[in-house]
A and B are shown apart, each in its own frame.
Chain A
């Protein structure tokens, strides 16, 4: 190999430097472009998501009204919560609703998906009927169900009376257990279609060959469901359980519009308690502290479910 002269070596070095300069400028330009693409989203995200999370925690350490003039009180709001019976009641109400609504919606949603997937006559119509309540807004849904459940003029009591099941009045929204049942029924009616659609997508991904193989082995319908359908749906099941429990933790509109949290405060969930603390009692500090606890409880719940359901998969 020929030895390079000093001049030549110098030349190459210069070229390399120029190249690396161009490269650097290029990298810088790419970085800038990327951030320009991200800017609108990230800006709104910082303002309306990141800042409120941080600010919410700071507010939770204070006492005083909205708009400034607040006093730092450390963790005192969190300490108050420990002995606040209304907080514990609301937390219990929320957890109770999560625990009863999630399994009901999973079972009913799966049943509906199986029925739609059977290829019965009028499948398109059946599917549409199962899904259509989800298109109504929460207020319309609640208004219909208040008129169905209310005593004296309600549809449900009228039907029960006309078939001779009762002869007086049942106060569906006036007794705690019945009020919860009414809220649950209304929620199921309203949202089960959404979950059915997710299950349906899962069912349609299961290969037909597995069922054919099971048929040849002489498996009955129940065995096919238990050994093929259910295991194949594990992913969708995890998803529905997590989505549904998150939605149930955020319960607000149904009790707010149907029972007002009553009778008394016996159907008041956490979000309603936060709303009332913040915007009825004008106590943003305490409301923020309760919000943080709600957030924390949801994270723990999601984490446990994730661990449990993912483990089963192995």
Chain B
């Protein structure tokens, strides 16, 4: 019996680890190439696998690019966008879920309709607005258009709807106003949903490409996804320096993933499924 189970599992093991190899080889290759001497031949696998190895590509990236500035820009945009989206959508979701007011259905439907609108379809008017505001190459241009995220309101509203009313009534009797109730009851209770949403927003923001490509054309205001191809375009034959730039651009996200792997996967599942 045990043997039978094992034999049916062998193809699964082959498939699983075969796929693991396919998924990891490009990443391993990126790291490997980045440690070869600049201009060395990295296409012959035999040469790739034998020393010498060096850090000179990394030194070159730091000397000839603004890699730290781009990383900081990406972090600033990601963090503010995430925090802003969480704060604003949580306030809005609280009002829609718990306060009776005129026009509630209308506002909720208006926000839901936004779920259907891709940013890609509104880039022309958005860009024109940014130009008129004089915001090209600025943080507000990179950050603000992404903050009013309908998905955030939807997810948090669903969560708030499930919080029992007694909690709110009890707090009201104790004389707490709505802002206080939101802050000291709803926010702490929705920690898990908020964390899931935060991870989802941050990953999206970190990888956002089209919008920063439009509004950040000054090197010092670029985020990593826009800056990396710009930097690499001046290297036509050498692979080591571009790969070192790729590694440096990926390290923050990879470390983040290694530490918060469980939460990230849970967060994606929760945010996606709701």
Contacts and interface: CB of A to CB of B under 8 A. Distances in A.
Interface string B88-106: 1101101110011110100
Interface string B199-237: 000010011011000100000000011101100100001
B120 A271 contact: yes
Contacts of A193: 23
B95 A34 contact: yes
A148 B26 contact: yes
B125 A135 contact: no
Interface stretch (A6-14, A16-24, A111-119, A211-219): A111-119
A253 B210 contact: yes
B43 interface: yes
A129 B20 contact: yes
Given A37-B99, A53-B122, A130-B20, A139 B209 contact: yes
A178 to B, nearest CB: 18
Interface residues of B, number: 92
Interface stretch (A44-52, A81-89, A224-232): A44-52
Interface stretch (B49-57, B58-66, B142-150, B161-169): B142-150
A48 B19 contact: no
B180 to A, nearest CB: 12
A157 to B, nearest CB: 8
B120 A137 contact: no
A43 B6 CA distance: 60
Contacts of A253: 209-210, 225
B153 interface: yes
B19 A130 contact: yes
Contact of B128 (A67, A116, A250): A67
Contacts of A37: 91-92, 94-95, 99, 178, 182
A273 B162 CA distance: 45
Contacts of B224: 137, 139
- Looking at chain B's contact residues, is the secondary structure mostly helix, strand, loop, or mixed? helix
Contacts of B116: 298-299, 302
B14 to A, nearest CB: 10
Contact of A41 (B26, B153, B178, B206): B153
A154 B41 CA distance: 11
B60 to A, nearest CB: 16
Contacts of A135: 203, 250, 253-254, 256-257
A287 B124 contact: yes
B118 A249 contact: yes
A133 B25 CA distance: 11
Contact of A295 (B88, B118, B229): B118
Given A37-B99, A49-B117, A275 B210 contact: yes
A236 interface: yes
Contacts of B153: 41
Contacts of A31: 101-102
19 contacts: A35-B101, A37-B182, A51-B125, A115-B12, A115-B16, A125-B20, A132-B254, A135-B250, A137-B228, A139-B249, A143-B246, A147-B239, A148-B26, A202-B273, A252-B210, A253-B225, A257-B229, A274-B124, A292-B121
Question: Top 9 A-B pairs ranked by shortest CB distance?
Answer: A34-B101, A37-B95, A201-B269, A45-B148, A41-B92, A52-B122, A44-B148, A55-B125, A52-B125
